[in-house]
Every structure is written in C-alpha cells, then in structure tokens.
Amino acid sequence: MRDTRYEVIIANDDLGRQIHYRLRYQVFCLETGYENPEAFPNREEKDEWDACSQHFLVRDRESKQWVATMRLILPSERMLPIETRAALDAGAVPPLEQCAEISRLCVVGQFRKRLRTGVSCEPLVPGESWAEPELAALRCSAQVLRALLPVTLRYSRSRGINYWYMFTTKALARIVTRALPMDLRQVGSPAWYRGERLPYLVDVRKVIHALASEQRARAASASIFYDGPELSPVATAQAG
C-alpha cells in the first residue's frame, strides 16, 4: 500500500536521526510542554532508549516538509520501557526478542493545525480531550498513521518482531484502533505515568493479515508486506 500524500523514511543515518530528535523537541518541548526544553540545550529531544531504537520520519510529498515522527524501541539486553512502568500479565507476555515498543509518535503543530482546518481532517473521536501531544496529533491525522503502518510492518518482519507494545491512554488506543486494522489487547493493569496509561500488545502477524484482507477487498495487492524494508538515507530522500 503506497500512501499518495505522505512519504515515510526510515531514519538510519545521522541526518535522519537529527531531524527526528529536533521534530520531537519542537512538539514535546515547545508546542506541548510535555518535556522540559531546558533539559535539551541542543534542541534535540532524546533519551536513553534512542540508542536501541529505529526511528521513522513522515514527510509531506507535495511540500517536502517533515510532519511526523515515530520510533520503534527494539529488544536489547535492557527491558523495554513498558516493562519498567507497568505490571504486565505474566501469561500474556511473549518472548522479549520478538517484541518492540512503539513510542514518540507525534505530528508537528503547524501540520496539525492545517489538518484541523483543512478538508483532509479526519476527527476519529469527536469530543476527546487534547490534553496530551499524541491525541492532539492523531485525532485529525489518521492518514499519517496509515502511511506509517506498512513501513513499520515491513521493518518489523525484517527484524523478527512479531509483537508491538504500546503504553498509552484509552483515548489514544481508541484512535489507533479506529484508524487502523489493528487490535490492541490490554496485557496489564493501568499505571500512572503522566496520567493514566494502559499496557497494550499488538500481534504484528494479525495486523499484516487484516491489512492484506482490507487491500484485497479494494482489489489491491498485498505483496508489498512481504518485501524487505527500504532503508533510504534521509540525505538521499531530501535530494529527491
């Protein structure tokens, strides 16, 4: 599935990661106050989990502007963040080497504003609070999620990742499940981390099957999900 409006780049070079961190700084520090800007004097919002993460960028094809970020925290010798912040149900936890955690999903403010006022806005959950940056970004930008999904699926398959964790609010979980053919299964008790959040688990193989079925219903080919990821350096993408 190729999204015609958005281009998703796997940020696997220094330039791509720098753009990713600076967009996060713009959203999480300057626009929302979610993080303290004084903690990031170089204007790059990052933490200890970035060293074991794959970073993704979303760019508007027409304007060539970077509009969104997401990272996938990969299995390593350390526990995933969700394991340190929530009590997971022992019987519901897959082998760690098959799991990754989705986080730092955000859309820049200028683009959020354009989505909210333009014809492309898709209010998935009318009346929801926009108290946190993820909700403000995603309530009107299902297209960004749909662009990210196939690229993240391809990358996950290439790394042997069969499950994604998400540690988020009920409201954001509803947005994700309404925007995408993705079932979020709660795998632990609610925990307090900048508000009440819940641990969810997603079976990547089921998402691939659901998305392929959705494509077949539209008479589209699902073969793209069985190809390898395109690890395009951002410098190359910018020159295009």
How many angstroms separate the CA atoms of 238 and 80, rounded? 32
Give the global pTM. Answer: 0.80
pLDDT at res. 155: 97
Per-residue pLDDT of the chain (240 residues; tens, 9 = 90+): 455 689 999 999 999 999 999 999 999 999 888 899 999 999 999 999 999 999 999 999 999 999 999 999 999 988 999 999 999 998 888 999 999 999 998 888 776 655 544 433 333 333 333 345 555 555 556 788 889 999 999 999 999 999 999 999 888 888 888 888 899 999 999 998 888 999 999 999 999 999 888 877 765 454 555 554 444 455 445 544
Angle, in degrees to the nearest 10, between helices 142-158 and 204-217:
120
How many angstroms separate the CA atoms of 72 and 105, rounded? 10
pLDDT at res. 78: 87
The structural domains of the chain, ordered by start, are: 6-239 (3.40.630.30)
What does the block give as tokens for 220? Answer: 């589209």
How many angstroms separate the CA atoms of 236 and 240, rounded? 7
pLDDT at res. 130: 38
pLDDT at res. 112: 60
Task: Kindly report the backbone phi and psi dihedral angles of residue 113, in degrees, each rounded to the nearest multiple of 5, phi listed first.
Answer: -65, -40
pLDDT at res. 215: 77
Among 204, 203, 174, 199, smallest CA distance to 187 is for 199
How many angstroms separate the CA atoms of 64 and 99, rounded? 33
pLDDT at res. 145: 86
